Structure 1
Amino acid sequence: MERNLTELTNQVYDVLVIGGGIYGATLAREASLCGLSVALVEKNDFGAATSANSLKTIHGGLRYLQNADFKRMRESIHERTTLMRIAPHLIHPLPVLIPTYGHGLKGKEALSVALAVNDLVSCDRNRLLDQQKHIPNGRVISQKKCLELLPGISTQGLTGGAIFHDAQVYNSERLTISFLHSAHQAGASLANYVEVTGLVQNDNRINGVTVTDKLTENQFDIRAKTVINTCGAWGNKILGMVNQQKRWPFGVAKAMNLVTTRPLFEKYAVGITSKNSSADSDAIVNKGSRFLFISPWRGRSMIGTEYAVYSQDPDDFQITEADISQFMAAINQAYPPAKLKREEISFVHGGMLPTTNINSKTGEPILAKHYQIFDHSQTGLLGLISVVGVKYTTARDVAEKVVNYLFKLLGKKSPKSVSSVKSIYGGEIENFTDFLQNAIVEKRSKGLTELSIRRLVYNYGSAYPKVLNYLENPESEWAIVKAEILHAIHQEMAYKLSDVIFRRTELGSAGYPGDETIKFCAEVMSKELSWSSTKLEEEVQQIRNKFGITSAIVASNIPSNFQD
């Protein structure tokens, strides 16, 4: 996967995608697999904005039962199965436990019925050959068993618990990168750090975009028959480049998930009732409260999601200390045994989601429920389509619908989509457990530790040997990290230290990896990309700023054992 800007100027593409998050990535792959020529540009790094803020849960749509929205349930269940099929190294079943209280909507009887309906609606969920990906039937448990699994929860009115399974992403940033790898393999031209600064317009048709390479400040045009705007919260900025063009009627919510230094629960993702309201005007039944999900993730807990209305420029987005404190207070109130302290929050994932309104009673944002595909020819502008996604799980499905619509515009029948059955980059694995064990046996004999092999397989899947092509000393853990960095630079368009720390590897997405790791990674990148000492220090400080660490690391203090 190479960043070839010259290639971007040498042809007229069928499709140009603006935005390299999960929706742009799945769309680029889908269109390329269907035989269209595709270009994709992203103004920062791939998947660096909202797509990086994920609760890491691939939802099967159980919560849609309160709306009797079986169509969305089926879509979500299908896409959950699809992602486990095409990305078996990254998507794995996740058991979820919800305590039951009383005998009403939160009671064991109501949840038992809900689980039975969910099992019926998802009756075909286990057609995957890999049994590691099978989703068991839901079940209810006794009060005693629930207290054994969730010590310290409120016992007032507790009647038991409900257990069901969803799925979880081990590394959502690598999932986005893997979709882009697959798009590139299918012929797409991709480039990060290329910002769209204008739309090329002739009369009432968009014929491409004007862009600036943020690494060199060079400007050029990219021509395309259709431009697709998948910029999320930045979507209206793109539309603002066209005079009198209709803007999206969406607001924006600030979304936040916290990662803790210690796991609150070891085995289950747990739904704890929060006292915050979750009034849903479309719901047939309304619980009057919402769940905080506390999920075990990479030896820690991921807790989310907290939402707040956001009305500022998306470029100015940030999570404040006040936001974190407020969310921690809600968590400690919902589950007092957590006793979370600020120093136990190892990382904060923040992003922006589309909203349709604000709850007049609580002031909370009402999230958009349905994706939107808008052809701007309806307002007199040809060649421009905007896509607003609302759910990480169904991004591939939306991409398929967009491509079907493109062929309809061309007056052609859409090719049969293969994106739901064709493995993404790294996903060529028939049986994940067997694949992992075989990798451990084979590579341990060559000096790698089991921990390193597991990490490589969970992140890169069947493509992990491509990382090891850059390995110089298999007995050194630092050498494996160096191999990941070199692979990221030469095969995955990593140009900044943050690209490596947060999105090409798992080093920083769960918490600060430590001064030694940051120094080592910076030194490897500096040597490979010929950074100046000033550039190196700037890159290091940007990482430390992300974690709220202000004191600088002096590059010359890097231990000698980190050098080649």
Structure 2
Amino acid sequence: MSASLQMEKRHETVSALENEYFDLVIVGGGITGAGIALDAVTRGLKVALVEKNDFASGTSSKSTKLIHGGLRYLKQFEFGLVREVGKERAILHKLATHLVRPEKMLLPLTKDGNYGKIIASVGLMVYDVLADVEKADQRKMLSAADTKVLEPLLADNNIEGGGLYSEYQTDDFRLVIELLKAAQSEGAKVINYTACTRFIQKAGVIAGVEVKDELLGTEYKIYADYVINAAGPWSDDIRKYQEEVTGKKLHLTKGVHLVLPYEKFPIQQSLYFDVPDGRMIFAIPRKDITYLGTTDTFYDQDLKDLRTTMDDVHYLIDSANSYFPALGLKTEDVISSWVGVRPLIAEEGKSASEISRKDEIFISEQGLITIAGGKLTGYRKMAKRAVETLLDRRHDDTGKKIPKCKTKKYKLPGNGFKSPKAITKYKKSLAKTNSHLSKIEISYLVDLYGTQTDAIIEATHNGTNIIEAEVAFCITNEWVYHLADFYIYRTGRLFFDLESVRSSHLIVADQMQNLLGWSDSQKEQEVLVLNQKIKEATVFE
């Protein structure tokens, strides 16, 4: 696709946003906003979505990369939340089989840990029941010896046993992109790098939004019957455009994850383990790295200044060393990191870890619908509640029948699979017919793009480099406008394969200059911004 064609597509979207009338405008292009867009458009609503930065660039690319059932919420007696996210986990595995991958999690039991043998056994059993876990995947209680076989790095003198239970690993940013692609295919108008700057009001009721396109430098208005604020950590800032924020407010908590070379942290099994301050954290192996997290501390500073600090690094490294003293992990072993904030609902007197992860909906006097809180795993149900809040209000005004939610069985782009076995078969088939690519390259592509890998590989048959084919696919199909968009929010390479970023970014910058029409100075600026992103992920103060 040429630069003129790529920008022409954006101009067409802007023209539609500016000149058409919508049932709904969504502010925020993270997992919640994307889920709302697909839910609403598949119910027949005319939908627009605007995101001020890149899609998934906030909390939705900074999770632990797990679609999990919320085991720890049992300790807070949030049985309803465990049940909901557990059932949603199974649904998401069917909707995006290549992106929501089975992962066994080991809960080691120690003499002074959060879970004793009896509590762990009962808790995991309740977890299986509430989360509706299939029999083959239900928990197994292990002896100390069996636990050590599964994870030899565990200290001999402190392990009393273990529990093996089911989770799912994912790439959170890819879920967002595929949801948005699905919504667009159904007719939604979605655009990134377009900030909501104020609300349009008629007779004291919100009737749309005013926006600024950061790429084109233009400002325009989008008119709609309803506006849903799904801006995550920025939700209260959006609310301030039309009223003073009183009553329940967001309480932001900071979550940091560290990436270490697998050779430095060579665990055989994904782990959920105790740390000295009474919390629990994850350690998850992934190809040639292991990532570790997360922290959970209050955050009340400017979101533009969000960084992984040396204190964060020390906390996680010290926590891992306390459980795996033989490793002797050091801060200089960290090769990358990511940090995000959770948009929780403030609760008086509770610590960051104790605050509920439930979502809530606020409706202002002017009609703004805001949804906040919640978990990645529960995005579909959050979207359903938000859209039905809108439809209930519309029904009261018009008497129109409320259409049913259709997203429970709506397979996302790239998911042409019925099971993980089908994915393995597809990878083998691609390897057999594409000898110019390694099995590692094929596995990487399929895990991210599913059956869309066919289109990427097809472009390599004329001699195009595989990463250049991937870049072209993302620019053509996935709203990529900046170098960092590709390396962070489409592929996660900056987190999981930093060396590939360093070795390829100049070639990719040249390619993006050709495809997007950058000037030489703009290309230089893109490289500078990417290098700054690398510094933020790797240098800690």
TM-score by length of 1: 0.87
Residue type at the aligned position of 2:146: K
Cα deviation, residue 408, structure 1: 1.2
Q: 1:316 to 1:102 in 2, by over 3 A?
A: closer
| Equivalent in 456, 460, 471 of residue 445 of structure 2 | 456
| Residue of structure 1 in register with 2:362 after alignment | 374
Cα deviation, residue 255, structure 1: 1.3
Instruction: Tell me if 1:402 matches 2:386.
Output: yes
Secondary structure of 1:484's counterpart equals helix
| Aligned pairs for 1:5-404 within 5 A | 5-102=14-111, 106-123=115-132, 125-126=133-134, 136-169=137-170, 171-244=171-244, 246=246, 248-262=248-262, 264-276=265-277, 289-356=278-345, 366-376=354-364, 380-382=365-367, 384-404=368-388
Contact 2:28 2:230 in 1 (8 A): yes
CA distance in 1, matches of 2:356, 2:176: 22
Contact 1:357 1:365 in 2 (8 A): no
Secondary structure of 2:83's counterpart equals helix
Q: 1:135 to 1:221 in 2, by over 3 A?
A: farther
Residue type at the aligned position of 1:194: T
Cα deviation, residue 368, structure 1: 3.6
Residue type at the aligned position of 2:366: L
Contact 1:97 1:164 in 2 (8 A): yes
CA distance in 1, matches of 2:104, 2:273: 14
Instruction: Note the alpha carbon deviations across 1:327-372, whole angstroms, 9 max, x for none.
Output: 32233234323322233222211111134558979x7564342101
Instruction: Note the alpha carbon deviations across 1:169-189, whole angstroms, 9 max, x for none.
Output: 0x2211110011111111110
Contact 1:372 1:388 in 2 (8 A): yes
Secondary structure of 1:470's counterpart equals helix
CA distance in 1, matches of 2:75, 2:519: 57
Residue type at the aligned position of 1:100: L
CA distance in 2, matches of 1:74, 1:135: 19
CA distance in 1, matches of 2:40, 2:223: 17
Q: 1:150 to 1:434 in 2, by over 3 A?
A: closer
Cα deviation, residue 167, structure 1: 0.9
Instruction: Note the alpha carbon deviations across 1:18-58, whole angstroms, 9 max, x for none.
Output: 00001111110110111111000000000011111010111
| Equivalent in 476, 479, 483 of residue 490 of structure 1 | 476
Instruction: Tell me if 1:419 matches 2:387.
Output: no
Is 60-69 or 439-448 further displaced after alignment?
439-448
CA distance in 2, matches of 1:228, 1:491: 25
Contact 2:493 2:501 in 1 (8 A): no
Residue type at the aligned position of 2:100: I
Residue type at the aligned position of 1:430: K
CA distance in 2, matches of 1:409, 1:110: 45
Cα deviation, residue 79, structure 1: 0.7
TM-score by length of 2: 0.90
| Aligned pairs for 1:430-509 within 5 A | 430-442=418-430, 444-447=432-435, 448-473=437-462, 479-509=465-495
Secondary structure of 1:349's counterpart equals strand
Aligned pairs, number: 521
Residue type at the aligned position of 1:426: G
Cα deviation, residue 75, structure 1: 0.5
Contact 2:259 2:334 in 1 (8 A): yes
CA distance in 1, matches of 2:193, 2:316: 33
Q: 1:415 to 1:337 in 2, by over 3 A?
A: farther
Superposed CA RMSD in Å reads 2.4
| Residue of structure 1 in register with 2:3 after alignment | none
CA distance in 2, matches of 1:541, 1:240: 34
Cα deviation, residue 192, structure 1: 0.3
Instruction: Note the alpha carbon deviations across 1:429-484, whole angstroms, 9 max, x for none.
Output: 2233234423432453243332222122111112222323433546x6xx111111
CA distance in 1, matches of 2:130, 2:236: 37
Gaps of at least 5 residues in structure 2 are 1-5
CA distance in 1, matches of 2:371, 2:131: 28
Is 242-251 or 390-399 further displaced after alignment?
242-251
Secondary structure of 1:100's counterpart equals strand
| Residue of structure 2 in register with 1:560 after alignment | none
CA distance in 1, matches of 2:511, 2:354: 45
Cα deviation, residue 76, structure 1: 1.1
Q: 1:294 to 1:212 in 2, by over 3 A?
A: same
Cα deviation, residue 244, structure 1: 3.6
Contact 2:84 2:131 in 1 (8 A): no
Residue type at the aligned position of 1:402: A
CA distance in 1, matches of 2:261, 2:223: 48
CA distance in 2, matches of 1:202, 1:387: 23
Contact 2:357 2:373 in 1 (8 A): no
Gaps of at least 5 residues in structure 1 are 127-133, 277-288, 551-564
CA distance in 2, matches of 1:518, 1:104: 45
